[in-house]
Amino acid sequence: MLRGTRSWVAIALLLLSALSPAQAATVWYQGPVQFVYPLNDGSFIIGIPNVAVCTSSGSNSHLYVTPGANGVTLDGTKSMLATVLTAFSLGRTIEVAYDDSSSSCYVNRLLIQ
């Protein structure tokens, strides 16, 4: 009897975890770039002017592009750095997808508008 109860509890927990919504929350930002700050590990920070984009962190106007975070590879990081620097130097706006559920708001993709 106890063994059957454990099986039902395990099945119920498995179903509840499968039916619960995902924790990652992809959010889009569209607007100008205030600054680009390259870091020594190959990652960089995108500064957003006067807009609260990253609500999970204390510094809510920074988005992080980091190899290995939010599905971004090293080559992807290099491509995004070139793209955001081009947008910044031309004064164009960008559109960025980032994960709002992490404290660093890691970017997954971006484009120039």
- Would you kindly state where each structural domain of the chain is located, as residue ranges? 24-112
**Digit-coded pLDDT (tens) for 14-54:** 444 444 444 557 888 899 999 999 999 999 999 988 766 67
Q: How far is CA 59 from the centre of its chain?
A: 14
Give the span between the Cα atoms of 92 and 25, in whole angstroms: 26
The mean of the pLDDT values for the chain is 80
Q: Which CATH architecture does the domain made up of 24-112 adopt?
A: Beta Barrel (2.40)
